[in-house]
Structure 1
Amino acid sequence: MIRRPGHQADVEPPRGVPTPVPGLDLDRAATAVVAAGGSAARFGHALAAGQAQLAADAPVDLVVTLAGIAGWRAGVLGLRDDALARIVDVPPPAAAAALGLAEADLRAFTDRQRIDRFWWPGRTASRGYVCAIGGFAGFGGAWTAPPADARSLAEPGAFAVRTARRWWRVDADVWGSRLTELPAEPTAAAPRGGGATASLVTFSESYLAGVHVAESA
């Protein structure tokens, strides 16, 4: 179980600083990442790690593609599909470094991600816990009451949860999450059969909700 908001895959603190590239406004890119729900610090770290595996004269278009992958790694949910589609255009050492993966794990990661948005090589070690969301507003979190009545929604990676009389939508994947207040109680999705099953779980007297994946038997 995770005891504060965050993702289990974020084991390495973001420290890297990307190398300036003519024609690519890194400050603007970082601002866009934050506006889309990601972390500017993690974006910079991921892009710097990927750039370190490219030639110094790498084409700008290649660095732009790498920046999109870094944006996904920084928690921008909307970049997931594009990053998975274009990751083949980036040399594997650079793509793996940007994602914080060993190069040997890159193929397995991309293959599994296409069917399971919550998979990464360390999920088994985390006992299926992917991320924690919410937290007490008095400590910088999102909620003034503990979450309850969690349920899955129809869209992949989407859940709903109630805090007191307010309903929230949770969207998440392995790297990022987003909270949106809903106008009314949503309808739960029908159970999905087969494969790993993700759910949003709540804990007694906790202000956190967690995405957990139970592997199929």
Structure 2
Amino acid sequence: MIARAYHQVNLDLPAATADLPPMAGLDLALSADNVARFGGDPHRYRRALQGISASPETMVSVAAVAAWRAGVLGIRADALSRLQLLPVDVAASALGLPVDAVTPFAEGQAVDRFYWPLRPASQLIARIGGFTGLGGRWDHPPTAPTPCGPGRWTVDVGAQRWQIDADVFGHVLSPAPVDSVPDDGPRTGQLVVRPTSYLAEIWPA
């Protein structure tokens, strides 16, 4: 079996595309397109919004949480702040969590960007990268992982240095800036690479 990139929290999600709820004044179809444009999965976004009915003002916050849940890493801080504004049942539906797991999730995320209340403590968090010939991003195995802050590492891929930014739901791969510096501070995730694999793995630290 060919190993591909994934985040553990997404493995059990239904693959079918869900219909977006109707919402006057909000173009949720356009927002789904934007989720894809910013690196998220529009199918997971649609699934996160399925069955939710709320005012347009509340749906703006729901959409932010759903976009983050779909892997749009850049909206993480905004989504976390908006999560506190949602009724707990709505937040649970958007995140795909039981109602009683929403508060532990929010509290855990405040200190650990990889926290997920339903994941065993020692379980793999994500596999990222992958071989370009199989739909991945890299044409060489990643080497020399260096932590550069919470959820951030740099790796060598061939002659190029890449930066990895990640959390429990998604990640971004980009050329590393020339001024990136190592950070040996406390961290909740560790990046593992192997000389025979084009995938880098994130495990609990």
Query: TM-score, normalised on structure 1?
Result: 0.87
Give yes or no for the alignment of 1:115 onto 2:111: yes
Contact 2:142 2:157 in 1 (8 A): yes
Q: How many residues align?
A: 202
- List structure 1 runs of 4+ shifted beyond 6 angstroms: none
- The percent of aligned pairs where both chains have the same amino acid is 39
Give yes or no for the alignment of 1:6 onto 2:6: yes
* Partner Cα distance (1:136, 1:78) in 2: 24
Give yes or no for the alignment of 1:130 onto 2:125: yes
Structure 2: runs of 5+ lacking an equivalent = none
Superposed CA RMSD in Å reads 1.8
Q: How does 1:24-103 map to 2 (within 5 A)?
A: 24-49=26-51, 51=52, 54=53, 58-103=54-99
SS in 1 for 2:68: helix
Aligned to 2:137: 142
After TM superposition, give the deviation of residue 4 of structure 1 in Å: 1.8
SS in 2 for 1:153: strand
Contact 1:33 1:76 in 2 (8 A): yes
Cα 1:63–1:191, aligned 2, differ >3 Å: closer, same or farther?
A: closer
After TM superposition, give the deviation of residue 128 of structure 1 in Å: 3.4
Structure 1: runs of 5+ lacking an equivalent = none
* Partner Cα distance (2:104, 2:133) in 1: 40
Query: TM-score, normalised on structure 2?
Result: 0.92
Aligned AA for 1:102? P
Give yes or no for the alignment of 1:178 onto 2:138: no
Give yes or no for the alignment of 1:198 onto 2:189: yes
